Structure 1
Amino acid sequence: MAEVGVSDSQHTIHTDEMCDESDEEVEPKLTYERITNDVSAILKKESATCLAVHSRFIALGTHLGKINIIDVLGNRVNDRELCLHKTSVNQISIDEKGEYLATSSDDRIVIFGLYSSDHNYHNSFDRPVRAIAIDPYFRRPGGGKRFVVGEADKIILFEKTFLARYRTTILQQSRGHIRNIRWRTQYIAWASDQCVKIYDIEDRVVITYIDREKDNDVQRFRPELFRCHFCWKDDRTLLIGWADSIKICCIKQKQNNELPRRYVELTASFNVEFGVCGIAPIESKLVVLCVNKVANELDNAYNCRVEVIEPIGTDNYEEISSDILSPKSFNSCRSNDYHVECLPEEGLYLILCPKDLIVAKPREEDDHVTWLLEHQQYEEALEVVKYNKSLKKHNVQSVGSVYLKYLLEQSHHSQYEKAAQLCPTICGADRDAWENEIVRFKRIDQLRVVAPYLPRGPELVLNPAIYEIVLKEFLEMDSAGFLRTIREWNTNLYSIPTIVKATLDVLTIDPKNERLLEALAELYSREGKHDKALTIYKDIGNKTQVFDLIRKYGLYSKLQEQLEVFLQLNADEASKLLIENQETIPVELVVKKLKSKPQLLLTYLDHLVHKDPDVCAVHHGLLVELYAQYSSEKLMAFLRSSNHYQLEKALDICRKKNLFNEIVFLLGRMGNTKEALQLITDKLDDINHAIEFCKEHSDAELWEDLIKYSMNKPCFIRVLLRNIGTHMADPIALIHRIPEGMEIDGLNEALVKILRDYNLQSELEDGCRRVLVSDCYSLLQKLNRQQRRGVSIDDDYLCQGCQRKIFAREIRYATDIVVFNCRHIFHESCLLATKGEFVCVICSAQQKSEFMIS
């Protein structure tokens, strides 16, 4: 076979009012190939006139009256060339089994058995027979051996009789010449120049007729130019294409049994923008061979094309694709020279013109992918090959390689990034594919983009040289990316000495590049040269990596050697490391080394005292001095929390620094509350502080001193009145001491507050008293209930006095029983005999002995 070129498809939607053509290119639905081999030789000598297809072979009728039996590749089957007619073959019909042919021409009709001559038959007519159809069940036993012919305007049924002769019956005489007949199961459809009729051979009745469209241009669509084309879609659906009209007919069963028992429903009817030369079904759509309505003015020929359309509703359609064909000698063809036959179940559509035979097939997935690639729809093509396992021509790598090439040719970073993201999908675990794509990225200096997507194991690892050239591109063009990649990649992917040497070479040109220095430190660290790495981190001032490296590899000796340097680099992190490793680097050693650096020492001791105050208890006095000098805001909290410093020395330090709040606290802690209060009132002049101080120490003399100090200060008196109502036994005495005539803002409110506080205090005391009485009464009742409760005594209990069983067997020994709360049990007689009163002998003896011991 040879491929047949088609034009680009166009996508169009047709309605009753308008026909809008879209510029968007749409994928064709069919592929086309020219059938060659023996067909080429046949059509070189003769012209084809008709065609019939079967799943086993193709029957090709010629202008010279011959029937050629060929296969789908164009080869003659068993060199079969049947010379059955002397004039052009008009129509060929094949039975269901593919064993008998029925052919007609202007001279005669022939029934010919391909494998048996038992039922061969031929007959001549006075008028040309342009159509014939054989019973699909012709070969079936008892089937009647029937066929129908269209002699001019008559439909004649031939049936074989008992004596092996054919009986003829005129089924109907039509208006105009019969030009096409198709027989499917029990239904026969024929077309004349005026109408299409459907005949039910079972009921021997015409069940419908469909007239030709009345409004068509009679001259333009003359029968000799545009004959009726139809085919059976299934056993009950007939597709009709006539001039510029398409109809879909469906045979249905009536509810009653009146003849005809079936009727035909017209499910769709619409006009098209072309002349129909053949029609066939393809799934829910239609394949229509068509020509322009008007012949080409230059050569009086009709341009041929294949339309795939889909009916919409009952009166319009959507054009799915349109392919222009260029069969041989198409310039000399007329519309009635074209024929279409199909085998929908096999996906074959045969298109015949006098000098060419073309086969169309629904596009396979490989064809779909090819079309997508040709139209640069690479993403869609890649999605198809990813999920379709039946492809023969295309795969993920072949399509992906084309797509990557296209993306990399766009010279845009976003496209480079997209290409890099696709590499894992496209290359998968194929090492060669990866290396080929990396070469492409290398040519355009975009290895940095693909670096995050390179395979790094364990399933697949590339040649180390690949990773090295990627790192070198980072090294030369992107120092930040180089550092990031060094941290992300495992060292088994590349040679560390090779990358170290390359990094040192670049650093000779740019020695202050901190990112490259940091990357070099990372490489040294991975190579085991931690000292070099630590030196680089320290020199560039990398506060995080320095201490991570010391902690990770235990480089505490380096920390101890250069203690001040590391503390200056990051005092907090260094202090944490020192505290975590006190066994290696003792506290005393650190304090000794940092004596000359008090601020660094303070940072270290501050972290230490928060971690474990007792560890550095000996240095708490030093801490007081350091806090007072460099971080006085932390001193008060430390003074409150620690008990390991000398109060006098701490007080002296605070006096020198004029830290009055700390002095007040220390004086109060030393018991010198009067001086502390005087300092608050004289130096701080803070009445609230003074009140809190008095409340804290709860000393009546302190309150008296505060009152004396406040008597000449109205604002202090107002605050005192507001706060001491619940702290003084007699707030009225304070009020009497206020000098006469002194103006005090807010005095009324302060007095009201004193009364409210006093009232509240009284209510609280009263409430507490009621609660106490209630609880006492409840407990007394509970005690009474418990003591009145019965006590269970078993038969084997013994009297604590006589050591006999509590319960006597003989009535003469019976006596009352006394049980104490301590659960000791006595006979009443035994108890009276020893004490003369009801007292537990055992418990009273124990109490007496304890008293004597004490």
Structure 2
Amino acid sequence: MPIREMVAGQLEEPAVIDDGASEADSDELCEPKFKYKRILNDTIKVFEHDAASCLAVHEKFLAVGTQCGRVYIMDHLGNVLPMKSLNQHTAAVNQISIDGSGDYLISCSNDGKVIIFGLASAEYNQVLSMNRPIRSVAIANDFSKSNSGQQFATGDRTLTLHERTFFNSDKQTVLFTGKDKDGFITTISWRGPLVAFTNDTGTRVYDRTLRVLITHVVRKHDLSLRIELFPPRHCWLNDNSFVIAWANTVTVCGVRPNNNPASTNLPGKLVEIRHMFDLPDHYVAGVSYAYSDDVTASAEDNWKELVLFCVCKPAEDQAEKAVNSVNTDASPEEEEEVEKAWLPRVWLVEPIGFNDYEIISEDIIEMRDSDRLLAHHYHLLGIPIDSLYFLLGSRDMIEVRPCSADDHVDWLLKNDLHEKALAFAKLHVDELDAFSPHDVGRKLLDALIDDEHYEEAARMCPEVCGKRKDVWETYVTRFDERKKLRVLAPVLPVKVPQLEPECYEMVLKEFLAADIDGFRRLVREWSPDLYRVGGLITHALERLYRKNLDRDTHNSLLCTLGQLYTYERSYERALAIYMNLGDRAVFQLIERYRLFPMVKDRIRDLMDIDTDLAVRLLLENEESLPAGTVMRQLSKQPRLQLAYLDRLFSRNEGIEFADQAVTLYAENDPKRLLPYLRRYAEHYNIDKALETCKKKGLMEE
């Protein structure tokens, strides 16, 4: 009997007190499969003066029989429907059955009465006095139809079919007569042409079409487990499958056609046992199944798991433990163990093979007077197609529903499985009412931030926040509180959506305080329209004046200030910073914003920064600064003069400096003098050139 999960159910009114897991299992999270809600309203008053004896359920209403012989018709919330209750039995109601339409129900009692009661019409109402205790009844599914014959079955020692004749008399046909050893028929269930009924010796199925008994499923459990204390429970899974839950045995049966009835001397239908397993430590008080909505499944495969309502077998030493817990200083754990032993539990089980099963979940249920109740006091009936079940004790009733998609997400969140919750929410959007992927995502982000998993939280932000400006701004604030905006910066949106300037300023200020290079990178990458440049310049200057920066960091911050001044169009200040730093970015600034007039008197400084770029700049702006002016500014830098002349000559310009070029080549680059002399022989003064060569010892050239 492998156990997949031992879990606690969920309940609005406290009723589930334990998940059935041992201490060894405490580290393993087990998710509940069901949620529970105690049914109150009129049931409080009903159970205050009377005790329940049986239950029947319909998609429209509930019918609760009591020990005082009453039948209360209630809605699913526990409200007694006005003028819809019966008070005609003088002894406990044994069984109630409702027809398919929910228009009529039938009840029986040890007072010998069988009562048929119409909820929508009284046309077929009837009170039958059988003059003997009637232990069980079942009403035909089509009872309310006018031409159906209004059939129902009653059980005592015999199984009797009742039909309404043309003259409105009760026609009785005995379908089965038991012997003394068979005892009383305590349970009848009816599905289509098949009527299943159980007495002391087992369960039989009568086929009304074939007019014959087609099987006898013999009881397997110990004969000492009296049927009055451990009554059998039936549940039809579909038209051809049913479950018998009796004492500590669960049997799943299937009805199939007999293809060779003549040769086998058997009826035209056979019943085969598909699963039969024992519950070693429990007795079954009720059975239903979990409906499968798999559209690919056949009608025979509309279920996979059984829902069992069980009570524990009293342990041999249970009474002794109970006494000891009162008379000695028992530990809280021992007291709890004694208390839980009396409580019923709901199992979700999956049959495995023929005689084994797997417990998928187990919930221990707290019901009123549990310490005084046995298996026959409890009932479980369900409407599986609606995923709705009801538990009944003698003075308590609980609604049971499978946990929904919302419940699953809620459980995952409560157990800090936020990523799984988000993944599930994305895949089951249409099934969620209380949650959305966005809601779950925000809870995930909050949890990650609280747990200081900032990188992971930042990674999730684009997915969770999407294009919601307000949500982005909320998490900017949350990251700012933790001084972790630097982690968020790479994923922060700058267009869709564009956040308030304060958000970007907070990020930049954090970088300014802790990561100057990162600050410089963001200032370059982000548009100045995202934040207030003037205010940021003020903060940058304050940081600069603290004088606790190393040289590289100081220069990096200065470069960033230059960029900010450029954004602010304070070009003179930007130029001053770049020139003082010797940063080649000054050339791009000059060219982009046409700032040459502001630097034409600082040609030497530009040449020191980058000769090639400076020369190119001079040539592009020769109308503003003639070559003669440039040569004069560079008079003390002959190598720079020569570099400038090289570029002029390459453009066939600057011939007026041909004689000066001879001197510059001779003094600074003698190897290039001869090629120059040969190329420009007609432009320079040959005598001056010879004199220069003599002075420099270059006559060989």
What TM bracket, shorter-length normalisation? 0.7 to 0.9
Q: SS of the residue aligned with 1:24?
A: coil
Q: SS of the residue aligned with 2:434?
A: coil
Which residue among 467, 483, 493 is the counterpart of 2:520? Answer: 483
CA contact (8 A) 2:285 2:378 kept: yes
Give the distance between the partners of 2:480 and 2:345, measured in 1 at CA: 48
Q: 1:552 Cα deviation (Å)?
A: 1.6
Give the distance between the partners of 2:159 and 2:596, measured in 1 at CA: 112
Q: 1:460 Cα deviation (Å)?
A: 3.7
Q: Aligned residue for 1:138?
A: 143
Residues 207/443 of structure 1: CA separation in 2 closer, same or farther (3 Å cut):
same
Give the distance between the partners of 2:398 and 2:538, measured in 1 at CA: 68
Q: SS of the residue aligned with 2:273?
A: strand
Q: Aligned residue for 1:796?
A: none
Give the distance between the partners of 1:121 and 1:79, measured in 2 at CA: 17
Which residue among 301, 305, 309 is the counterpart of 1:289? Answer: 309
Residues 507/180 of structure 1: CA separation in 2 closer, same or farther (3 Å cut):
same
- Aligned: 1:302 with 2:342: yes
Q: SS of the residue aligned with 1:557?
A: helix
Greater displacement, 491-500 / 123-132? 123-132
Number of residue-to-residue matches in the alignment? 641
Which residue among 181, 191, 197 is the counterpart of 1:184? Answer: 191
Pair member with larger Rg: 1
Q: 1:366 Cα deviation (Å)?
A: 2.0
Q: SS of the residue aligned with 2:82?
A: strand
CA contact (8 A) 1:250 1:267 kept: yes
Alignment of 1:453-472 (within 5 A): 453-457=491-495, 459-472=496-509
Residues 45/405 of structure 1: CA separation in 2 closer, same or farther (3 Å cut):
same
- Aligned: 1:437 with 2:478: no
Give the distance between the partners of 1:304 and 1:322, measured in 2 at CA: 10
Q: Aligned residue for 2:546?
A: 509
After superposition, the C-alpha distances for 1:13-44 in whole angstroms (9 at most, x for unaligned) are: xxxxxxx9795222212211011100111112
Q: SS of the residue aligned with 1:393?
A: coil
Percent of aligned pairs sharing the same letter? 35
Pick the structure with more helix per residue. Answer: 1
**TM-score, normalisation: structure 1:** 0.68
Paired residue type of 2:379: H
- Aligned: 1:416 with 2:454: yes
- Aligned: 1:405 with 2:446: yes
Q: Aligned residue for 1:522?
A: 563
Give the distance between the partners of 1:287 and 1:627, measured in 2 at CA: 103
After superposition, the C-alpha distances for 1:299-343 in whole angstroms (9 at most, x for unaligned) are: 796321212223344444333322221122222221221111111
Q: Aligned residue for 1:264?
A: 271
Give the distance between the partners of 2:240 and 2:581, measured in 1 at CA: 89
Give the distance between the partners of 2:189 and 2:609, measured in 1 at CA: 99
- Aligned: 1:88 with 2:72: no
- Aligned: 1:159 with 2:163: yes
Unpaired segments ≥5 residues, structure 2: 1-10, 293-303, 323-337
Paired residue type of 2:366: S
After superposition, the C-alpha distances for 1:812-831 in whole angstroms (9 at most, x for unaligned) are: xxxxxxxxxxxxxxxxxxxx
CA contact (8 A) 1:233 1:239 kept: yes
Q: 1:118 Cα deviation (Å)?
A: 3.0
Residues 492/253 of structure 1: CA separation in 2 closer, same or farther (3 Å cut):
same
Give the distance between the partners of 1:117 and 1:191, measured in 2 at CA: 31
Q: SS of the residue aligned with 1:538?
A: helix
Q: SS of the residue aligned with 1:129?
A: coil
Unpaired segments ≥5 residues, structure 1: 13-19, 667-854
CA contact (8 A) 1:520 1:533 kept: yes
Q: 1:200 Cα deviation (Å)?
A: 1.4
Which residue among 12, 28, 32 is the counterpart of 1:24? Answer: 28
Q: 1:359 Cα deviation (Å)?
A: 0.6
Q: 1:201 Cα deviation (Å)?
A: 1.2
Alignment of 1:63-142 (within 5 A): 63-108=67-112, 109-125=114-130, 127-142=132-147
Give the distance between the partners of 1:112 and 1:416, measured in 2 at CA: 67
Give the distance between the partners of 2:651 and 2:639, measured in 1 at CA: 19
Q: 1:162 Cα deviation (Å)?
A: 3.0
Give the distance between the partners of 1:158 and 1:243, measured in 2 at CA: 30
Paired residue type of 1:437: Y
Residues 620/11 of structure 1: CA separation in 2 closer, same or farther (3 Å cut):
farther
Paired residue type of 1:317: Y
Q: Aligned residue for 1:200?
A: 207
Q: SS of the residue aligned with 2:600?
A: helix
CA contact (8 A) 1:10 1:21 kept: no
- Aligned: 1:337 with 2:377: yes
CA contact (8 A) 2:343 2:367 kept: no
Give the distance between the partners of 2:648 and 2:40, measured in 1 at CA: 97
Q: SS of the residue aligned with 2:135?
A: strand
Q: 1:360 Cα deviation (Å)?
A: 0.8
Alignment of 1:704-853 (within 5 A): none
Paired residue type of 1:440: R
Residues 520/187 of structure 1: CA separation in 2 closer, same or farther (3 Å cut):
same
Greater displacement, 427-436 / 75-84? 427-436
Q: 1:156 Cα deviation (Å)?
A: 1.8
Alignment of 1:300-449 (within 5 A): 302-386=342-426, 388-389=429-430, 391-411=432-452, 415-449=453-487
Paired residue type of 1:475: L
CA contact (8 A) 1:618 1:644 kept: no
- Aligned: 1:552 with 2:589: no
Paired residue type of 2:141: P
Give the distance between the partners of 1:117 and 1:379, measured in 2 at CA: 58
Q: SS of the residue aligned with 2:443?
A: helix
Q: 1:241 Cα deviation (Å)?
A: 2.5
Give the distance between the partners of 2:70 and 2:247, measured in 1 at CA: 29
Q: 1:186 Cα deviation (Å)?
A: 1.4
Q: Aligned residue for 2:4?
A: none
Q: 1:550 Cα deviation (Å)?
A: 1.8
After superposition, the C-alpha distances for 1:595-644 in whole angstroms (9 at most, x for unaligned) are: 532444455566677xx564567878988987787678x959x9599944
Q: 1:260 Cα deviation (Å)?
A: 2.6
Paired residue type of 2:247: A
Give the distance between the partners of 1:474 and 1:404, measured in 2 at CA: 23
Give the distance between the partners of 1:397 and 1:622, measured in 2 at CA: 77
Which residue among 227, 248, 259 is the counterpart of 2:231? Answer: 227
Residues 317/517 of structure 1: CA separation in 2 closer, same or farther (3 Å cut):
farther
Greater displacement, 108-117 / 588-597? 588-597
Give the distance between the partners of 1:591 and 1:268, measured in 2 at CA: 107
CA contact (8 A) 2:666 2:696 kept: no
Give the distance between the partners of 1:613 and 1:584, measured in 2 at CA: 18
Q: Aligned residue for 2:13?
A: 3
Give the distance between the partners of 1:622 and 1:208, measured in 2 at CA: 126
Q: SS of the residue aligned with 2:545?
A: helix
Paired residue type of 1:202: T
CA contact (8 A) 2:20 2:364 kept: no
Give the distance between the partners of 2:642 and 2:188, measured in 1 at CA: 111
Q: SS of the residue aligned with 2:148?
A: coil
Greater displacement, 556-565 / 342-351? 556-565
Greater displacement, 280-289 / 167-176? 167-176
Give the distance between the partners of 1:580 and 1:103, measured in 2 at CA: 109
Give the distance between the partners of 1:164 and 1:96, measured in 2 at CA: 22
Paired residue type of 2:250: I
Residues 292/596 of structure 1: CA separation in 2 closer, same or farther (3 Å cut):
same
CA contact (8 A) 2:277 2:356 kept: yes
Paired residue type of 1:445: K
Give the distance between the partners of 2:275 and 2:643, measured in 1 at CA: 93
Q: SS of the residue aligned with 2:504?
A: helix
After superposition, the C-alpha distances for 1:374-400 in whole angstroms (9 at most, x for unaligned) are: 111122223344451553323355434
Residues 27/608 of structure 1: CA separation in 2 closer, same or farther (3 Å cut):
farther
CA contact (8 A) 1:8 1:25 kept: no
Paired residue type of 1:485: L
Give the distance between the partners of 2:21 and 2:193, measured in 1 at CA: 39
Give the distance between the partners of 1:558 and 1:625, measured in 2 at CA: 32
Q: SS of the residue aligned with 2:175?
A: strand
